[in-house]
Structure 1
């Protein structure tokens, strides 16, 4: 009788045994090592994870909501998502040990969907450590802790699926350097930490793709640290503006060839604000912006990303394409909020 099963022939090594002189590895030992790593992370990070309860007015109606957050200093600084506390009048923090206290909003940044709270308590609180997210690698362990669907102190684990992703914030701006993970996230996880195996926070959980399985996103810890630093210093995240309405357009091949440009798209100045830094520098409606300080500009997102606080009030070289060819303009961006 022919063999209809997919055996490959010959005897196979039993599970947990060695073959051809190889080293002995027991599946139970591997599982225990993984479990110990996750447990150690939970022991380190979970005490700093908080449940955020908010009430206020949203879209003209009284609303309540919940989310997660993570304490990043013993004196009560909390990182969470902007969308968790947007419109909140009252914010209450609950800790895993039962302590409760109110919090006030120090600052919000819709462009990165992050916010910073200050817990109104004199107690010394457990705090998590922010990692350098530049060291995050695809495939490493990722552990999410939060309060999904009202279940406090819930832990899920997976891996880092990808790094360097981009994600649209609710205001339409592009958040860069986002970490993708398959650690399960649900409503209520927003604002909670994504941790590595060393018990350090590598990201702030922010979004999932509805209908997908295992595609979740966290704002990288380096971005969170920048937002935290800016809010503590200025009450907001400072960004530059040049005073234009920009749109991404294809760069005609003949224009690219004549200007010796390798990019396939550019930013067209659709509208120009009177008296703006761009107008004062001589920019005109219809100009194509192709470089900023020598770095290619292929879309409006590139332009917004480059116009950070470092360029406020400084001389910036903007390369544009006009009918006469490439032109260099010197623009001095202003503070976007002023």
Structure 2
């Protein structure tokens, strides 16, 4: 039977309990300090967008072209040099760039490096807005970053996040590993490829290059220091110069007794399977069957290790390989001219 005295059970504004013990029915309003922090964050992002967005471009093939795809890029010099991804260029020599002002500019591909998924193009314009590079080596996990680009054809799209990890590695289209990849949590989508990853001061610290399908908040960017090195190679030499030993190789496991006898650090080595007689290996006495265990004193236990060291060591610097041959350890000093 209904009893009017039970009304208190159903009356929202009646509660005899102390205020501190009542359940919270609404989210409390942010404090003044929290509001100030949010306002400062918003102002920082808006300032970066205002500064950088005029230099962000959308790239696509010319009318009638079926090669490659569509992506983003950003201008790095007033005379029209711009950075994008190699897979955005897609083996094309000419592209169309669309600016945030709606201008359509022809652009030529200056250089294309699938090994780092980077390309340099030049727009047919002058006195263009451009961005500055930052030092990607100074990035720290948790640092605010902003991704810009034209995902799905939507120009000047902005997303924010933090650096989730540094020093990652990612496989490029040609099979090589790209080192020092930046992992970040700024949402990116197809079409963001080639767009800039920017710090809170408006400096480019990376080039967005990939996302993991079906994963949220996991994006990757090639670090700005790598971008500047690749662009410099294009401008000075027309391509990225890398050491090429001229060998075909495979990873093998060494017998435990041999590892102990030669005082090796690892039981894995890179075995030379074939040699190009015109390459530096063929000219320097390396033989099929040699087991490469180090390069300039750095341990080599995989093909990726070999690629990594050959990329990092300047092409005009001395190169020393430690190889196991006929149960003996040999040190071969190579000098390779720039290719």
Matches within 5 A, 1:105-120: 105-120=109-124
Matches within 5 A, 1:34-53: 34-53=41-60
Task: Evaluate the alpha carbon distance shift between residue 334 and residue 242 of structure 1 in structure 2; reply closer, same or farther with a 3 A threshold.
Answer: farther
1:157 equivalenced with 2:164 (yes/no): no
The residue number in structure 1 matching 2:130 is: 127
- Larger Cα-atom Rg: 2
Alignment length (residue pairs): 318
Task: Evaluate the alpha carbon distance shift between residue 50 and residue 326 of structure 1 in structure 2; reply closer, same or farther with a 3 A threshold.
Answer: same
Task: Evaluate the alpha carbon distance shift between residue 176 and residue 261 of structure 1 in structure 2; reply closer, same or farther with a 3 A threshold.
Answer: same
Between Structure 1 and Structure 2, the one with more strand by share is 1
Deviation, 1:11, is 9.2
The residue number in structure 1 matching 2:3 is: none
1:238 equivalenced with 2:245 (yes/no): no
| In 2: Cα distance, 1:203 partner to 1:259 partner | 43
1:26 equivalenced with 2:37 (yes/no): no
Q: Which runs of 5+ in 2 are unaligned?
A: 1-19
Deviation, 1:105, is 0.6
Task: Evaluate the alpha carbon distance shift between residue 25 and residue 256 of structure 1 in structure 2; reply closer, same or farther with a 3 A threshold.
Answer: farther
Name the SS of the counterpart of 2:159 in structure 1: strand
Structure 1 residues 133-142 or 308-317, which shifts more?
Answer: 308-317
Q: Which runs of 5+ in 1 are unaligned?
A: 1-8, 18-23
Task: Evaluate the alpha carbon distance shift between residue 334 and residue 10 of structure 1 in structure 2; reply closer, same or farther with a 3 A threshold.
Answer: farther
Kindly indicate whether the alpha-carbon contact (under 8 Å) linking 1:56 and 1:90 is maintained by their aligned counterparts in 2: no
Kindly indicate whether the alpha-carbon contact (under 8 Å) linking 1:317 and 1:329 is maintained by their aligned counterparts in 2: yes
Scaled by the length of structure 1, the TM-score of the pair is 0.87
Structure 1 residues 320-329 or 192-201, which shifts more?
Answer: 320-329
1:328 equivalenced with 2:331 (yes/no): yes
Name the SS of the counterpart of 1:308 in structure 2: helix
Task: Evaluate the alpha carbon distance shift between residue 82 and residue 119 of structure 1 in structure 2; reply closer, same or farther with a 3 A threshold.
Answer: same
| In 2: Cα distance, 1:300 partner to 1:102 partner | 40
Name the SS of the counterpart of 2:194 in structure 1: coil
The residue number in structure 2 matching 1:94 is: 98
1:104 pairs, out of 87, 105, 108, with 108
Kindly indicate whether the alpha-carbon contact (under 8 Å) linking 2:93 and 2:109 is maintained by their aligned counterparts in 1: no
Deviation, 1:295, is 1.5
The residue number in structure 2 matching 1:3 is: none
Structure 1 residues 267-276 or 130-139, which shifts more?
Answer: 267-276
Scaled by the length of structure 2, the TM-score of the pair is 0.87
Runs of 4+ in 1 over 6 A off after TM superposition: 9-12
Deviation, 1:279, is 2.2
Q: Deviations over 1:193-225 (max 9, x none)?
A: 000111100000000111111111100000000
Kindly indicate whether the alpha-carbon contact (under 8 Å) linking 2:68 and 2:89 is maintained by their aligned counterparts in 1: no
Structure 1 residues 277-286 or 106-115, which shifts more?
Answer: 277-286
User: Aligned-pair RMSD on alpha carbons?
Assistant: 2.4
Deviation, 1:311, is 4.3
Task: Evaluate the alpha carbon distance shift between residue 249 and residue 43 of structure 1 in structure 2; reply closer, same or farther with a 3 A threshold.
Answer: farther
1:287 equivalenced with 2:294 (yes/no): no
Q: Deviations over 1:253-285 (max 9, x none)?
A: 333222222234221112112243212322121
Deviation, 1:62, is 3.0
Task: Evaluate the alpha carbon distance shift between residue 156 and residue 264 of structure 1 in structure 2; reply closer, same or farther with a 3 A threshold.
Answer: farther
The residue number in structure 2 matching 1:318 is: 321
Deviation, 1:113, is 0.5
The residue number in structure 2 matching 1:278 is: 281
